[in-house]
């Protein structure tokens, strides 16, 4: 069942836990989104953040290769909305990233829909 406003939204998924990546991919497809990835390594995430084609991104904070913060910095520079997916509180993030949306793990279908709707809305503001 698609979610209003999300059909065709291209979502970069950076997640290194295989089962969670599969779950995210399925859920995003149910919402009508087009999944870019899932990406499980920092090197590949950095490459896509630099020159990939997508509308929004969901970034697992800790992935193979380190923290995802350099990816977030590239997305900020490109003006691409993103959410940090983590079980950590925002106070654990670097100060510069605390203002960005956080998808609290474990998340529900509703949490995911709300986060994507928020990110998609940021596209029309920029």
Provide the 3-class DSSP secondary structure of residue 7. coil
Q: What are phi and psi of 82, to 5 degrees?
A: -150, 165
Closest alpha carbon to 71 in 48, 93, 104? 48
Residue range 102-113, pLDDT digits in tens: 999 999 999 999
CATH code given to domain 10-125: 3.40.50.2300
Domain spans of the chain, in order of start: 10-125
Residue range 67-121, pLDDT digits in tens: 999 999 999 999 999 999 999 888 999 999 999 999 999 999 999 999 999 999 8
The CA-based dihedral angle spanning residues 69, 71, 76, 82, taken in that order and rounded to the nearest 10 degrees: -90
Token representation of residue 112: 């995911």
């Amino acid at each position: 069942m698609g979610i209003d406003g999300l059909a065709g939204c291209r979502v970069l998924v950076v997640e290194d836990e295989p089962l969670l990546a599969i779950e995210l991919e399925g859920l995003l497809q149910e919402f009508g989104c087009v999944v870019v990835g899932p990406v499980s390594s920092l090197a590949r995430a950095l490459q896509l953040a630099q020159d990939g084609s997508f509308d929004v991104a969901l970034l697992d904070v800790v992935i193979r290769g380190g923290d995802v913060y350099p990816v977030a910095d590239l997305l900020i520079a490109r003006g691409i909305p993103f959410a940090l997916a983590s079980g950590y509180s925002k106070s654990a993030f670097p100060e510069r990233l605390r203002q960005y949306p956080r998808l609290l793990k474990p998340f529900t279908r509703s949490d995911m829909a709300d986060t994507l709707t928020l990110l998609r809305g940021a596209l029309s503001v920029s």
